[in-house]
Structure 1
Amino acid sequence: MGLSACIITFNEADRIADCIASLSFCDDIVVVDSHSTDATVEIARSLGARVLLRPFDGFRSQKQFAIEQAAHDWVLCLDADERVDDALRAAIEAERARGFAGAAGYRFARLSEYFGRFLRHGNAYPDRVLRLFDRRRGGWRGTREVHEAASVDGEVRVLRGDLIHYPYRSLEQQLLKTQRYARMMAEHDFARGKRATLGKLIVSPAWRFWRGYLLRGGFLDGWHGLVYAYVRANYVRQKTIMLWLLQNGQKP
């Protein structure tokens, strides 16, 4: 059973090699690059990936384009800051040996590194994602271009092992990234008719923090868990404020 790996990139020269190396068991590796200005394209090609250049018009659209270019119908989708660990690789290969019988797709846990420590509690883990699927029965569907998620028609199973995630190069980069995502989500929600309220502005960020930090045990990750929970709560606050501005005729 052929298997294609699909990756989207933009200026990932420092991370793309490790990502591709973890996908050496795949038969085909497709990289869709948004015209990087660093050595991302050259590194990917040197490692045997097929690189296609495409202007960025949204995370969902870019990923859907990538799976459409794959040589095989079964696709494994990663971001450049992710790697397949040994246990997950073994689980994928075992399912492939059985022809992915009876399943339309597979979920697995994503384990995120956060400033020197892997977060194993709170809202950060297990964070199961659907990334291995039959493109004939699904894909990156819908209209939301941020916090995009794949979906399939059929049974979805869970695999053991982790998708190792290195999401942030620095706290500054995380704050800039979450602010960008907050704006994109606010614009998406506004276009769908969703509206912010004073209650949501006050309650939603607090609930996000306490749910992750206390109810889901984020405090067990030490100060890393505290900072992570606080920044994620602030993302909810930013998104709600930007939605409030949009519905009152202001630009975020």
Structure 2
Amino acid sequence: MSRRLSVVMIAKNAADLLPDCLASVAWADEIVVLDSGSEDDTVGIATRAGAKVFSSAEWPGYGIQRQRAQRYANGDYILMIDTDERVTPELAQTLRAVLDAPQPGAVYSIARRNYFLGRFMRHSGWYPDRVTRLYERERYQYNDNLVHESLEAPQAQVIALSGDLLHLTCRDFFSFQRKQLNYAAAWAQERHQRGKKTSLPGIFAHTLGAFCKTLLLRGGVFDGKQGWLLAVVNAQYTFNKYTGLWALNHGYSEKE
């Protein structure tokens, strides 16, 4: 007997992205959208597409918001995706096969093809970029991390699925940079709250390491111009994270 699938996503001001995302999973048994106070037509688009739409304007961080969204789902399995992702036909076929004969207790990883400035990257650590997104609703959920949240399933068997999840990571450079800066700020706040510290040498060591890892160890050089640019972007993101943590460690703030 095939298991029921709930596609779950959190959204905010995603009116331009949502139609294609929803269309790629229209075959699912239900789609749940938890809106985080959108000011555009995100809620209307999701409602007209037949999704079950809920609202929670308070922002507790990505992990807890995903937990909240999952509570509205009723399917046997959860497919957690973002509004800037699309399920390819090959992946949809694979997901249906899993639902027809799932392995109890297992979780499933999906390869993401990440888009950066006109190109779906094939290296640079951005492919296959496997993420664990398909799992049993009653058995697993996401952790509480403010950013870079992940599924809590430490003992579970992880099965890699065929078929890609398209991820429109960077269509507009400045929007992408703003999002990266927000991620860096959340990362620094979270690490600071956990008592983590860094130093000036640590900042520059991590920054240089991020550049070399992207370009050389992860093959970014084979992604052409975008590979070089992404190496710089990753280094910049790392610099922002650790400099933000250093500033918090030393008590620097806007008020000061």
User: Taking structure 1 as the reference length, what is the TM-score of the superposition?
Assistant: 0.96
Note if contact 1:111-1:126 (Cα within 8 Å) is conserved in structure 2. yes
Pairing 1:216-231 to 2, within 5 Å after superposition: 216-231=218-233
Aligned partner of 1:163 among 162, 165, 169: 165
Aligned partners of 2:111 and 2:163 also within 8 Å: yes
Instruction: Judge conservation of contact 1:5–1:75 (CA < 8 Å) in 2.
Output: yes
- The corresponding residue for 2:40 is 38
Summarize the alignment of residues 130-145 of structure 1 with structure 2, pairs less than 5 Å apart.
Answer: 130-141=132-143, 143-145=144-146
Question: Could you tell me which residue of structure 2 aligns to residue 64 of structure 1?
Answer: 67
The one-letter code matched in structure 1 to 2:203 is L
- Aligned partners of 2:104 and 2:51: how far apart in 1? 30
Two-structure CA RMSD over aligned residues (Å): 1.2
Contact 1:102/1:155 (<8 A) preserved: no
* Cα shift readout 1:103-142 (whole Å, capped 9, x = no counterpart): 431001111111211001012111110111012221112x
Aligned twin of 2:11: 9
Residues 199-238 of structure 1 aligned to structure 2 (within 5 Å): 199-238=201-240
Gaps (5+ residues) in structure 2? none
Q: Which runs of 5+ in 1 are unaligned?
A: none
Distance 2:81 2:47 in 1: 17
Aligned residue number for residue 77 of structure 1: 80
Conserved? CA contact 2:116–2:171, under 8 Å: no
SS at match of 1:157: strand
**Which AA in structure 2 matches 1:79?**
D
Which whole-Å CA distance do the structure 2 matches of 1:107 and 1:223 have between them? 29
Aligned with 1:184 (options 186, 191, 208): 186
Q: Please give the TM-score of this superposition, normalised by the length of structure 2.
A: 0.94
Give the aligned partner of residue 54 of structure 2: 52
Percent sequence identity is 37
Secondary structure of 1:51's partner? strand
Amino acid at match of 1:121: H
Q: Is the 8 A contact 2:32 2:73 kept in 1?
A: yes
Q: 1:86-105 deviations in whole A, cap 9, x for unaligned?
A: 1211111111111x124431
For residue 130 of structure 1, give the secondary structure of its aligned residue in structure 2: strand
Displacement of 1:199 after TM fit? 2.4
